[in-house]
Amino acid sequence: MAEERAELFLDESRFAQSLRLQALRVPKRLCGQVSKLLAGYVIDKPRVKHIVNDPADAESRLVIFSESVKDPSLHEIPDEKLNALKDLVDLDVTPHEILLSYEHWSADHVLREILPKTCEVPSSFETIGHIAHLNLRDEHLPYKKLIGKVLLDKNPKLKTVLNKVGTIKNEFRVPSFELLAGEDNMVTEVKQYGAIFHLNYGLVYWNSRLEHEHKRLVSEFQPGQVICDMFAGVGPFAIPAAQKGCLVYANDLNPASVEYLLKNADVNKVGNRIVAYNMDAREFMKELVNPATAMAHALNKADEGNTSRDGVSDRQDSGKKSLRLSLSSMHYTLKAKVKRKQTNAVHSDVVEAKPWEHFDHVVMNLPASALTFLDTFRGLLSKDSWKGSMPCVHCYCFLRAKQTTADIMNVRNSCLLFFISGLIFSRLLKTLSEDLYLEHRFGQCVWLHQTR
Ligand SMILES: C[S@@+](CC[C@H](N)C(=O)[O-])C[C@H]1O[C@@H](n2cnc3c(N)ncnc32)[C@H](O)[C@@H]1O
């Protein structure tokens, strides 16, 4: 019954409270000095000023003490501070009443008040532009709308509060959501390390908590390098890599992701350094390393690259098509402005990008199943055409709660019989729900022994 009532409406009046405090009358010009001296002893609550007008004297102000200062003698304040205060002003202490209401309390306080004592306050949530994404536990569900309203009220930048429903089952890794409060608007804009990402959070994968990892991995890339992003999403690796001066072949199976990837490439002015594909990751890699299909792709899509795209549709047709973005020529020649570290000068360099001859890094951020895609690399590269050093493969996976690293090694080994030096580096990223997130970094692999 109590739960039903709580869910029906938020009684804001129950947060009204009168605080009877002490205040010090201070000449206007000395307010700053006195506040500094009394740091830690003046009221410190959101949306409550600690200096207010003095109703008795226009030339003075009231500096309001915190609840810890109960007595007009101010004996709670250490002698040293009190003596310094006496040197500045007369100790004219007066009672002062403050009326607090719902808007003065933090979300944490309000939720603590309205949720049962046994219920943990859901204080953390992911923010995606104007959207807050919560993962409420069963115990919170009777109060979910209230929780949504409080978070919306208390976070002025939020317009939409969502709760994730069920587990992700679709291959595009897009969760299902229910709207808890605010606008039903999933189209949003996120800024990460100087890049802007447009996305529809209901249609594409996005995880704001990966920001640091996106940044870290791109910091390993060098200007002029060629990157293959097999599971690119809306471009959080691809766009900053292109901004750095890399040429990026970016692929995703989700047509909506590719549309946003293309839009984001335009918005961030890196359209000439991103070649976008919409197909299965295995096919994508095969197409890239086959000069015939890669060139056919370039010729087919050159026209599409020239046509303007004015906005992104929300359609989700599942056709396996390839989209292509304005290459500077049909021969995979990239004119990239590469910032040289040594001189800090901007040069206009030409990067010859023929992916069947060379690429530098492969990004595989599909932790739920990326390991099972490693067989793509078996015999992928041709000894006859490949030039230069072997690429570095960055493959992400989850370590499930009940798995050990040995289990991961078994999967890896079954996929990677063709690696000689195998796993060079395995890095624990962070805990995401109950799973651990790992990046495996493979390098110096020996695909050339498996030539076609
Ligand atoms: C975990 S998300 C990562 C997206 C992006 N790299 C990021 O860091 O936000 C994985 C992406 O892989 C895509 N995907 C799933 N299966 C795929 C497949 N077989 N081939 C290509 N992309 C696939 C999904 O649509 C999703 O966008």
Q: Which residue has the tokens 């309001």?
A: 64
Q: Choose between 423 and 300: higher pLDDT.
A: 300
CA of residue 23 to ligand 1 center, whole Å:
59
281 belongs to an annotated ligand binding site: yes
Please tell me whether the overall predicted TM-score, pTM, comes out greater than 0.85 for this model. no
Buried b (16+ CB within 10 A) or exposed e, 308-342: eeeebeeeeeeeeebbbbbbeeeebebebebeeee
Q: Say if residues 276 and 288 touch (Cβ distance below 8 Å).
A: no
Atom of ligand 1 minimally distant from the CA of 206: 9
Express each pLDDT in 304-351 by its tens digit. Answer: 544 333 334 433 333 334 434 333 333 333 443 333 333 333 333 434
Same domain for 55 and 152? no
Same domain membership, residue 363 and residue 217: yes
Question: Which ligand 1 atom is nearest residue 207's CA?
Answer: 9
Name, in order, each residue with C-beta under 8 angstroms of 349's C-beta and a sequence gap of 6 or more: 224, 335, 336, 337, 338
Q: Are residues 223 and 95 located together in one domain of the fold?
A: no
Same domain, 236 and 211: yes
What confidence score (pLDDT) does residue 342 get? Answer: 38
Kindly state whether residues 167 and 124 are assigned to the same domain.
Answer: yes
Share of the chain above pLDDT 70, in %: 73
Structural domain that includes position 296: 202-450
> Ligand 1 pocket: which of 200, 231, 258 to mutate (most atoms <8 Å of CB)?
231
Q: Where are the alpha helices (DSSP H) in 170-279?
A: 211-219, 238-243, 255-267
Query: Domain containing 178 — which CATH number?
Result: 3.30.300.110
Whether residue 77 is found in the same domain as residue 120: no
Domain membership flag for residue 10:
no
Candidate from 252, 277, 435, 437 with most ligand 1 atoms within 8 A of CB, to mutate: 252
Is 135 a domain residue? Answer: yes
**Cα distance between residue 349 and residue 183, in whole Å:** 47
- Asked if residue 265 is part of any domain, the answer here is yes
Looking at ligand 1, which residue's alpha carbon is closest to its atom 23?
Answer: 253
Nearest alpha-carbon partner for 129 in 153, 162, 103 = 162
Say if residue 261 is in the same domain as residue 378. Answer: yes
Predicted confidence (pLDDT) per residue in 40-83, tens digit: 999 998 889 999 999 999 999 999 999 999 999 999 999 999 99
Both 81 and 139 in one domain: the answer is no
Among residues 185, 216, 251, the one where a domain terminates is: 185
**CATH code for position 329:** 3.40.50.150
Q: What is the pLDDT of residue 409?
A: 62
- Letter for the amino acid at 366? L
CA of residue 224 to ligand 1 center, whole Å: 24
- Considering the domain architecture, whether residues 168 and 248 belong to the same structural domain is answered as no
Pocket of ligand 1 (CB under 6 A): 171-173, 205, 207, 210, 231-233, 236-237, 251-254, 257, 280-281, 365-366
Structural domain count, the chain: 3
Mean pLDDT confidence for 424-429 = 40
Q: How far is the CA of 313 from the centre of ligand 1 (A)?
A: 19
Judge whether 11 lies within some domain. no
How far are the Cα atoms of 17, 44, 52, 221, 377 from residue 279, in angstroms, in the given order? Answer: 60, 56, 64, 25, 17
Residue 226 in contact with residue 249, Cβ under 8 Å?
yes
Assess whether 277 and 165 both reside in one domain: no
Within this chain, do residues 63 and 126 fall inside the same structural domain, yes or no?
no
Distance of alpha carbon 153 from alpha carbon 109, whole angstroms: 13
d(CA 220, CA 310): 33
